[in-house]
Chains A and B, each alone.
Chain A
Amino acid sequence: MNLAIRGLVQRFTDPRTAAATTVLDGLSLATGEIQALVLVGPSGGGKSTLLRILAGLDVPVAGTVAFDGVRLPTDEASLLRYRRTVGTVFQAYNLFPHLTAMQNLFLPLVHVHGLSEAAARERVREPLARFGLAAHAHKRPAELSGGQKQRVAILRALVVQPQRLFLDEPTSALDPEMTAEVLEMIGELKAGGTQFVLVTHEMGFARRVADEIALIAAGSCPVHATPTEFFDRCRDARVTTFLQRNLQA
């Protein structure tokens, strides 16, 4: 994929005080032809806000986003169609707690993509087995571990065969062991050719999985580089400070 962002602005207005907060302040970014883009940066810097726009969940106040030269629409009807072509995974609470893991996977397949129950069952059988979730398919989210929940959530985004995935800190609510199992799954997806944009605080993983890394801070993207450049050669104070802080945390 090839992502081109120009002058992206996003503002939120507090409905009570009418005070506006600028979260993205004219962010621009142009990637090469890559498979995996990783967004890193301090909390509150605008990573999640950017990802929500990329995923077609929010519309920016100004600016444009284009994947492979195709501009993202801004009207809700077209955005709904766009969202059906991509997959998004959030930090937590992705799964619907009233449905089993299997039913969670069925929901988009049956209600959005029009598959029959039988076709949906056939579609999810192999991926469930491949990611070691077949034995848990009939459990409700409350009976799954945090890592299993996130893996089902990623699978739910995947089984509709999206063009690309958007992953917003998928491991930040997990303990180290579960983080490892989710990261392993994302690593396998990378190896399998899935395109994705990932927001993460796991720097070691970012380095391994990213084709390009973008630092998102204070509503813009001051630095954007390959992992080697970013981690080893970058002299930019914003990057070194960020990496320093990340190490201390």
Chain B
Amino acid sequence: MPRWLAHLIVLALLAAGCGWAFSRLDNTWNWGLVWEYRAAFWKGWWMTVAVSLAALVVSSLIGIVVALMLRSTWPLVEAAARIYVELIRGTPLLVQLLVGWYVIAAAMQVGTDYRTAVGVLVLALFSGAYMAEIFRGGLDAIPKAQIDSGRAIGLTPWQVLRLVVLPQAVRIVLPSVAGQLVSLVKDSSLLSILSVGEFTFAARNVNSATYSTLESYLPLAAGYLALTLPLSALSRWLERRFRYEAA
């Protein structure tokens, strides 16, 4: 059976199942009312894109630095990185956002104008812990002989990192980073609890204004899928491409 046909069959079954469930629903659809709020959805969707991209950039930087720290021979540096990674990965993002905003940002007297910035920062710190493990894996995958070769031709340690290790590690981790971006897009929905005007926050507002819950949240699912499906495809494509290159 060709792959596209298999996909089509599964999707058809899924649609039938969902169609049946929705048909049993005693609900008067009110799409017209929600349609009037399309500008809010659109604005929120772009905010989600922007927040995710910003968090991706910051968390990549955090990830690289923390990955290097995890490999450090200095016990204090390694311990700091390890504890950061385990604390972040072991606690819910929800709690991190609440603590980050209502405790830490409040203690530092950060104004409410900066809620988006704080949200992005907490999201980046959250994602950075996962990035660090991804990058550490990528760095570990570079054979020590490569570093020796770099030193042998007279590269400085910084040049070995920049010209030899990082370009290879980045290729190895790209598929996982694209996968992490998928999580990041969905995780950014939690920023709505800080009233950051992203996609989920927009849907919540539309819901409270129209009392049309499904009409507000179903577009939300579609909007996230529009972002995450291409990213998943990109991740798989990168994975295939890297396999061919390494063969």
Contacts and interface: CB of A to CB of B under 8 A. Distances in A.
A108 interface: yes
Contacts of B25: none
Given A93-B143, A96-B149, A83 B154 contact: yes
B152 interface: yes
Main secondary structure of the interface of A (DSSP, over half): loop
B148 interface: yes
A130 to B, nearest CB: 20
Contact of B153 (A91, A92, A112, A142): A112
Given A98-B167, A111-B159, A157 B153 contact: yes
B214 to A, nearest CB: 49
Interface string B157-176: 00100011001100100000
A26 B90 CA distance: 52
A90 B151 CA distance: 12
Interface in A54-99: 55, 57, 80, 83-84, 87-88, 90-98
A160 B152 contact: no
A90 B145 contact: yes
B153 A140 contact: no
Contacts of B246: 97, 142
A108 B154 CA distance: 7
Interface residues of A, number: 26
Given A111-B155, A112-B155, A94 B149 contact: yes
Nearest to B170: A98
A140 to B, nearest CB: 7
B152 A92 contact: no
A12 B145 CA distance: 18
Given A88-B153, A96-B146, A112-B155, 10 more contacts: A55-B152, A57-B152, A83-B151, A90-B152, A94-B145, A97-B168, A97-B246, A108-B154, A112-B154, A160-B154
Q: Which 10 A-B pairs have the closest CB atoms?
A: A84-B154, A88-B152, A93-B145, A108-B153, A112-B154, A83-B154, A98-B167, A94-B149, A93-B143, A98-B168
